[in-house]
């Protein structure tokens, strides 16, 4: 019930006209900047609480209050120009052309459940906002082959965004982190595009697999005690990620995945992505020893 209530709250709280033609955001005047600054003070308190407070009712209450306060700030004309730099618990990612930005954050529910929240704000003078409603707990079938609308989002906190252009479409790769459950964590590379009416679409068959199949998103599930890589590497100019191998978990949780010391990747080409089966020639003989990313105590506190 809590899941549905919070998802509904996000959907209602952020629902705004989305498809009208609007001009790009201009400069933000000082009076409006000062107004958002004051709201940001409140948002910072709420974001700290929903991530760190030990009491569930306080965390849930903080995220409920955070959403309308954020919308109030974003309704300010030309709010796109405000960076919200005092919200370290909220990820804000921009494409290179700054045509939009993506807000994402998470709520700790319990040791095996996290709930994700987000919104896509377009670069317009008046607010044009698409809520992202996390429904990952009810999605069925192959998660890597689903095309999703914003109200049925596979929730994650995004830590990077990379543009991919083809002759027919521009796509945006969203690199995200999903805490998933106590023993198993996920990283995801989702594919964002915009339809003919400007609506966001999540998932597109542009990710090639080792056997030539095309995926709409890439999901890597691995042991919560391990650390794996999934990101665009600026120095190499490619997307790189750990090749996973399965081992027995140390806490009777059954099989879990860890990196085996080798890496796969994708090259961004003119027609999309090209699969790279082995990024480096060197391969370790044994998997690297996992090390904790999130210890149990921090998870209990909701960090």
Which pLDDT belongs to residue 281?
A: 60
SS3 of the chain: CHHHHHHHHHHHHHCCCCCCCCCCCCCCCHHHHHHHHHHHHHHHHHHHHHHHCCCHHHHHHHHHHHHHHHHHHHCCCCHHHCCCCCCCCCEEECCCCCCEEEEEEEEEEECCEEEEEEEEEECCCCCCEEEEEECCCCCCCCHHHCCECHHHECCCEEEEEEEEECCCCEEEEEEEEECCCCCEEEEEEEEEEECCCCCEEECCCCEECCCCCEECCEEEEEECCCCCCEEEECCCCEEEEEEEEEEECCCCCCEEEEEEEEEEEEEEECCEEEEECCCCCCCCCCCCCCCCCCCHHHHHHCC
Q: Tell me the domain boundaries of the chain.
A: 2-228
Which pLDDT belongs to residue 70?
A: 98
What pLDDT digit, counting tens, does each position of 86-95 carry?
999 999 999 9
Confidence of residue 21 (pLDDT cuts 50, 70, 90): low
What pLDDT digit, counting tens, does each position of 120-131 carry?
999 999 999 999
Which pLDDT belongs to residue 300?
A: 41
pTM: 0.86
**256 DSSP β-pair partners:** 247
What pLDDT digit, counting tens, does each position of 175-210 carry?
999 999 999 999 999 999 999 999 999 999 999 988
The answer to whether residue 255 scores a pLDDT higher than 80 is yes
Question: Percent of the chain scored above 90 by pLDDT?
Answer: 80
The answer to whether residue 15 scores a pLDDT higher than 60 is no
Question: What number is the average pLDDT over the span 137-141?
Answer: 94
């Amino acid at each position: 019930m809590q899941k549905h209530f919070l998802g509904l709250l996000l959907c209602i709280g952020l629902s705004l006209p989305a498809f009208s033609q609007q001009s790009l955001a201009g400069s933000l005047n000082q009076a409006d900047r000062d107004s958002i600054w004051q709201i940001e003070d409140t948002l910072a308190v709420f974001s700290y609480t929903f991530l760190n407070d030990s009491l569930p009712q306080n965390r849930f209450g903080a995220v409920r209050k955070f959403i309308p306060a954020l919308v109030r700030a974003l309704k300010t004309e030309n709010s796109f120009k405000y960076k919200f730099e005092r919200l370290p618990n909220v990820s804000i990612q921009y494409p290179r052309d700054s045509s939009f930005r993506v807000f994402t954050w998470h709520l700790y529910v319990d040791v095996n459940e996290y709930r994700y929240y987000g919104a896509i704000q377009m670069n317009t003078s008046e607010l044009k906002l698409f809520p992202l409603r996390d429904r990952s707990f009810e999605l069925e079938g192959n998660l890597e082959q689903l095309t999703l609308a914003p109200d049925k989002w596979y929730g994650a906190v995004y830590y990077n965004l990379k543009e991919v252009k083809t002759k027919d479409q521009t796509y945006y790769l969203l690199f995200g982190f999903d805490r998933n459950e106590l023993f198993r964590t996920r990283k995801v590379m989702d594919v964002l595009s915009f339809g003919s009416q400007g609506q966001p679409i999540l998932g597109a068959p542009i990710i090639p697999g080792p056997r030539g199949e095309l995926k709409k998103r890439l999901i890597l599930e691995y042991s919560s005690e391990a650390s794996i890589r999934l990101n665009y590497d600026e120095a190499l100019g490619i997307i790189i990620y750990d090749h996973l191998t399965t081992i027995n978990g140390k806490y009777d949780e059954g099989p879990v995945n860890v990196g085996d010391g080798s890496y796969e990747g994708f090259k961004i080409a003119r027609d999309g992505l090209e699969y790279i089966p082995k990024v480096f020639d060197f391969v370790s003989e044994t998997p690297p020893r996992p090390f904790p990313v999130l210890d149990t105590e921090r998870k209990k506190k909701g960090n």
